[in-house]
Amino acid sequence: FFGAEPAAPPASPTAGPWRPPRSPFGLLEELLWDRPWALLLSCILLNQTTRRQVDPVLCRLLREWPDAAAAAAADAAAVEAVVRPLGLHRRRSRTIIAFSKAFLEDSWTRADDLPGVGEYGAAAEAIFCRGDRSTKPCDHALALYLRWWRALEREEEVPET
C-alpha cells in the first residue's frame, strides 16, 4: 500500500532519477521516498509512537486522504477518529491538517518549516527525498541507514541493525 518497489538506485542522486537504496532495515521512509507529503506525514505520526502502531493508522489515513489537498480539506473529527489509536488524537488531527495546508502553499524551504515536522522529519526528507548524505540525523534509525548507505558505496562491511 505504501508504494511500488523501486528499481535499483543510480550510483548517486546526480546520476539520474533519484531513488534511495533499499536497506535491510525496512524503514518506512524507504517506501515513501517518492511521496514527500506522505513521508513527512509518517514522521509526524511516528512522534512518540512505534512503527507497529503507525503502520495501520498510516494506511488508513492514506486511503481516506491520499494527498495533501485531501488532508488539508479533511474534517478534524474524521482525522481524530483515525489517529485515535496513537494517542494525542486531537493535537495530531490539528497538526496533520495544518501541515497539509502549509505543504500545499509551497512557501517552505525546509521540511522543518512545516507544522509538526521537526528535526527527524527534516532529516528523513533530506535523506530519502533529496538524497542528501550530508545530513546529520539525531534519529538512530536514520543514522544507521546513512552508515549503511555510505558503507555500501565504499563496498565496505555493512553495519548490522
Are the C-beta atoms of 33 and 40 separated by less than 8 Å? no
Q: CA of 132: how far to CAs of 7, 20, 60, 92, 136, in Å?
A: 19, 10, 30, 28, 10
Angle at 100 between CA 98 and CA 105, to 5 degrees: 95
Residue 39 CA to residue 12 CA, distance in Å, equals 21
Q: Which of 34, 55, 67, 139 is catalytic?
A: 139
CA-CA-CA-CA torsion for 65, 71, 74, 77, nearest 10 degrees? 90
Identify whether 34 is a catalytic site residue. Answer: no
Residues designated as active site: 139
